């Protein structure tokens, strides 16, 4: 039986940084059922449709998909149930104040193992407009072209 490394990623939300300007990240624990943990050990989950919210002074992860454990019984978990996020009171307050402004949201970025526990990296982000996304792609392409030119010049 192999022991998990300190921070093995289970799943990442690759569109998070493309769709949002992430200003800050917070590490949160998750309240999970036993079959959810077993399913996550298989490395299958999705954060594509997920978002985080603060309700009644508690932080929640909504619409994250953790598939049912294939060897589970009828007491298996609901794949898209709301899951409570474990944060300190000051972090919850900061998240709640952050989301009060228009266009700001809590974005689940990465689900990973840390010291045998499942952690979620939550980004405090502002949604990007369509032209911002195009500008980011153009800058990325320009950077790639510069790197290619430098590499070709070093070879010559």
By the 10 Å C-beta count (0-12 exposed, 13-18 middle, 19+ buried), 151 is classed as exposed
58: domain CATH number? 2.40.280.10
Residue 88 lies in a domain: yes
**pTM for the full model?**
0.74
Tokens representing residue 58 in the block: 């508690």
Is there a domain that residue 49 lies in? yes
Q: What average pLDDT does range 43-63 have in this prediction? A: 88
Q: How confident is the model at residue 108 (pLDDT cuts 50, 70, 90)?
A: very high
Identify whether 143 is part of a domain: no
Q: Is 3 a residue whose pLDDT tops 80?
A: no
What pLDDT sits at residue 70? 76
Contact 107, 91 (CB under 8 A): no
Average pLDDT, the chain: 84
Give the chain's domain count: 1
- Residues 83-92, mean pLDDT to the nearest whole number: 91
Q: Can you give the pLDDT at residue 86?
A: 92
């Amino acid at each position: 039986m192999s022991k998990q490394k300190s921070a093995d990623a289970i799943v990442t939300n690759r569109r998070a940084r493309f769709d949002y300007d992430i200003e800050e990240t917070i590490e949160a624990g998750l309240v999970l059922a036993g079959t959810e943990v077993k399913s996550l050990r298989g490395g299958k989950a999705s954060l594509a449709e997920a978002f985080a919210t603060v309700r009644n002074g508690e932080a929640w992860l909504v619409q994250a998909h953790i598939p049912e454990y294939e060897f589970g019984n009828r007491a298996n978990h609901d794949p898209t149930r709301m899951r409570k996020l474990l944060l300190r009171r000051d972090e919850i307050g900061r998240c709640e104040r952050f989301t009060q402004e228009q266009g700001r949201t809590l974005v689940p970025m990465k689900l990973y193992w840390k010291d045998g526990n499942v952690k979620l990296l939550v980004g405090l982000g502002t949604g990007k407009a369509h032209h911002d996304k195009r500008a980011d792609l153009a800058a990325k392409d320009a950077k790639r072209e510069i790197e290619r030119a430098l590499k070709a010049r070093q070879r010559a």
